[in-house]
């Protein structure tokens, strides 16, 4: 069977990467809009309603507008923006989130694609809350270091100018107003009662992302050990194709003495690490911000929704 797919916002970073994933698939017919009609509401509406699956790779306001254009009950929308990640009637497009999530994605016609930072944070923290090891009222913090491609075309152009200005050569923390747009989904889909203190950092490499969550063992359920933390994550993701929980204090990850933020690049893989001492735990989750952090996740959700092999086009 052939499925018709339309990417609204096909010229953006996420849209272009989705097209790359779909290009070699015989089961997909990609509907394309003429360059001179990209902002034509009538043509966009026609293509959105002609599609079996439509990806929205647009700013939030434009995504909300596009969602209202749909009158075909058979069109499945997968929104890559922030607009619908905690909205009623929309299913969060993270199949590994919890038991039953795949069924919800398959049944829904409205799927919100997770953000890159929040994907890594949620995948690391949610299993610990679900297992009862990390109380929901725990106050946590998180730091995320990411490549500049997550900032879209303008940031990519800024970082790829030659010579690179000195102020762009060092890592740059941002979101210092503590109101980052991923915070609502980071709370809603982990079960945490309080928003994390979250500091994202962009640096002068193209892609790759790692979120670190530092915790005191005293913040966990009394008696919790680092071994139990790692085991809870391993049990939650047992059998998952795209998620690998590494051994406790994984020596291979630190063989050179430093953690490689980019080791999941060009894959849809997520690696989860637990480093620990006798009193502290450092949880690190690594992914490709353009893969499992954006376009790869969207294609994976499409595969789940359509009932085809989940890894199709992603390996």
The CATH number of the domain holding residue 51 is: 3.40.50.720
The predicted model scores a pTM of: 0.95
If pLDDT is split at 50, 70 and 90, which confidence band does 315 have?
A: confident
In a domain, 54, yes or no: yes
If pLDDT is split at 50, 70 and 90, which confidence band does 34 have?
A: confident
Q: Are 209 and 145 in contact (CB under 8 A)?
A: yes
In a domain, 236, yes or no: yes
Q: Are residues 136 and 149 in the same domain?
A: yes
Closest to 285 (Cα-Cα) out of 144, 150, 190, 95? 144
Per-residue pLDDT, averaged over 16-37, amounts to 90
Per-residue pLDDT, averaged over 161-165, amounts to 93
Q: Are residues 61 and 158 in the same domain?
A: no
Give the single-character DSSP code of 293: I
pLDDT digits (tens, 9 = 90+) for 235-263: 999 999 999 999 999 999 888 889 999 99
pLDDT digits (tens, 9 = 90+) for 186-205: 999 999 999 999 999 999 99
- At residue 117, the pLDDT reads 96
In a domain, 90, yes or no: yes
Q: Are residues 140 and 273 in the same domain?
A: yes
In a domain, 283, yes or no: yes
In a domain, 313, yes or no: no
Q: Are residues 70 and 132 in the same domain?
A: no
Q: Are residues 170 and 275 in the same domain?
A: yes
- At residue 256, the pLDDT reads 84
Burial class (CB in 10 A: 0-12, 13-18, 19+), 68: exposed
If pLDDT is split at 50, 70 and 90, which confidence band does 234 have?
A: very high
Active site residue 116: yes
Q: Are residues 92 and 138 in the same domain?
A: no
- At residue 120, the pLDDT reads 98
- At residue 37, the pLDDT reads 82
Q: Are residues 169 and 67 in the same domain?
A: no
Per-residue pLDDT, averaged over 76-92, amounts to 96
Q: Are residues 277 and 299 in the same domain?
A: no
Q: What distance in Å separates the CA atoms of residue 182 and residue 52, rounded to the nearest whole number? A: 28
If pLDDT is split at 50, 70 and 90, which confidence band does 231 have?
A: very high
pLDDT digits (tens, 9 = 90+) for 89-141: 999 999 999 999 999 999 999 999 999 999 999 999 999 999 999 999 999 99
Out of 20-29, 99-108, 262-271, pick the least confident: 20-29
Q: Are residues 56 and 36 in the same domain?
A: yes
Q: Are 293 and 119 in contact (CB under 8 A)?
A: yes
Please say if the pLDDT value at position 12 is more than 90: no
In which residue are the tokens 């929704």 written? 305
Q: Are residues 135 and 282 in the same domain?
A: yes
DSSP letters spanning 131-177? TTSS-TT---EEEEEEEGGGGHHHHHHHHTSSSPPGGGSS-EE--TT
Range of the domain at 21: 3-113+293-306
Q: What distance in Å separates the CA atoms of residue 62 and residue 214, rounded to the nearest whole number? A: 36
Number of domains, the chain? 2
Give the domain CATH number at 126.
Answer: 3.30.360.10
Q: Are residues 191 and 229 in the same domain?
A: yes
Structural tokens at position 208: 């790759």
Please say if the pLDDT value at position 10 is more than 90: no
Please say if the pLDDT value at position 232 is more than 90: yes
**Which residues on adjacent β-strands are paired with residue 53?**
5, 76
In a domain, 314, yes or no: no
Please say if the pLDDT value at position 223 is more than 90: yes
- The H or E element spanning position 19 is helix 13-22
Q: Are residues 139 and 286 in the same domain?
A: yes
């Amino acid at each position: 069977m052939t499925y018709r797919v339309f990417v609204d916002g096909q010229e953006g970073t996420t849209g272009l990467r989705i097209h790359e994933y779909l290009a070699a698939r015989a089961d997909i017919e990609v509907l394309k809009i003429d360059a001179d009609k990209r902002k034509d509401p009538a043509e966009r509406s026609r293509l959105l309603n002609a599609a079996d699956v439509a990806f929205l790779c647009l700013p939030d306001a434009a995504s909300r507008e596009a969602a209202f254009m749909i009158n075909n009950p058979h069109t499945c929308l997968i929104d890559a923006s922030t607009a619908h990640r905690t909205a009623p009637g929309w299913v969060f497009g993270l199949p590994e989130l919890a038991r039953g999530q795949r069924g919800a994605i398959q049944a829904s016609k409205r799927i919100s694609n997770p953000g890159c930072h929040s994907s890594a944070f949620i995948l690391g923290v949610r299993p610990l809350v679900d297992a009862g090891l990390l109380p929901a009222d725990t106050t946590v913090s998180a730091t995320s270091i990411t490549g500049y491609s997550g900032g879209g075309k303008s940031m990519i152009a800024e970082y790829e100018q030659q010579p690179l200005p000195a102020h762009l050569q060092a890592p740059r923390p941002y979101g210092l107003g503590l109101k980052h747009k991923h915070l609502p989904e980071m709370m809603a889909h982990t079960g945490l009662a309080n928003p994390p203190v979250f500091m994202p950092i962009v640096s002068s490499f193209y892609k790759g992302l790692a979120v670190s969550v530092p915790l005191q063992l005293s913040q966990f359920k009394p008696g919790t050990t680092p071994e139990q933390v790692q085991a809870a994550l391993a049990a939650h993701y047992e059998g998952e194709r795209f998620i690998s929980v590494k051994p406790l204090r994984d020596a291979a990850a630190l063989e050179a003495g430093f953690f490689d933020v980019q080791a999941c690049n060009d894959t849809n893989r997520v690696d989860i690490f637990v480093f620990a001492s006798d009193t502290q735990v450092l949880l690190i989750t690594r992914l490709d911000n353009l893969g499992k952090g954006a376009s790869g996740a969207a294609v994976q959700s499409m595969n789940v929704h359509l009932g085809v092999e989940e890894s199709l086009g992603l390996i």
